[in-house]
Amino acid sequence: MKFRISERFRLELHWDTVKYETEGEALFTGCRFIGPVLKEVSQVLPNDSMALDFANQYIVFVRHFYIAKLSWGEVRHNPEAIYLYNAILKNKYVNSVPKLYSDDHIVIDTSGHENEKHQYNLVYPSYLIRYDGELYNFKE
């Protein structure tokens, strides 16, 4: 990959399918968090959200910041994953940037979100990864 995230802080968002039924929204089914950082997370709360910052990757399409809100309803925890139900990714550009595929996933850098730092970091740097584990490079 062309970016570095300490394995300790790596969080991945995977899904089975994604649908674009409403302008500005991508709806996920089979959505789940996996990754090494889950060993340090006490709990993901239901009916919550997080701001994913894709600015570095999507600058080709959106000339300013591109921050999408990932929200979810019910949550189920197990040792390997945290399942998110009614998960939605929202941003007015969601339908105009390249679509997400079922075999893509998002890598989220949680390094700025330890308890003592979280209040100073409102977004999570995030990267869209394609089916083969490589970072999408939209600049090419």
Q: Which of 21-30, 40-49, 84-93 has the lowest mean pLDDT?
A: 40-49
In a domain, 25, yes or no: yes
CA angle 74, 77, 79 (to 5 degrees): 165
Whether 122 shows a pLDDT value over 60: the answer reads yes
Domain that holds residue 11: 7-129
Whether 17 shows a pLDDT value over 70: the answer reads yes
In a domain, 2, yes or no: no
Pairing of the two strands 124-129 and 48-53:
parallel
In a domain, 115, yes or no: yes
Average of per-residue pLDDT across 83-109:
89
In which band, very low, low, confident or very high, does the pLDDT at 121 lie, cut at 50, 70 and 90?
low
Whether 139 shows a pLDDT value over 70: the answer reads no
Sheet hosting strand 67-72, strand order edge to edge: 17-19, 25-29, 87-90, 67-72, 48-53, 124-129, 105-109, 10-14, 31-34, 82-84, 75-77
Whether 63 shows a pLDDT value over 70: the answer reads no
Whether 114 shows a pLDDT value over 80: the answer reads no
Mean pLDDT of the chain: 83
Query: What confidence score (pLDDT) does residue 32 get?
Result: 98
In which band, very low, low, confident or very high, does the pLDDT at 1 lie, cut at 50, 70 and 90?
very low
Higher pLDDT, 19 or 79: 19
User: How many domains are contained in the chain?
Assistant: 1
In a domain, 136, yes or no: no
Average of per-residue pLDDT across 20-32:
95
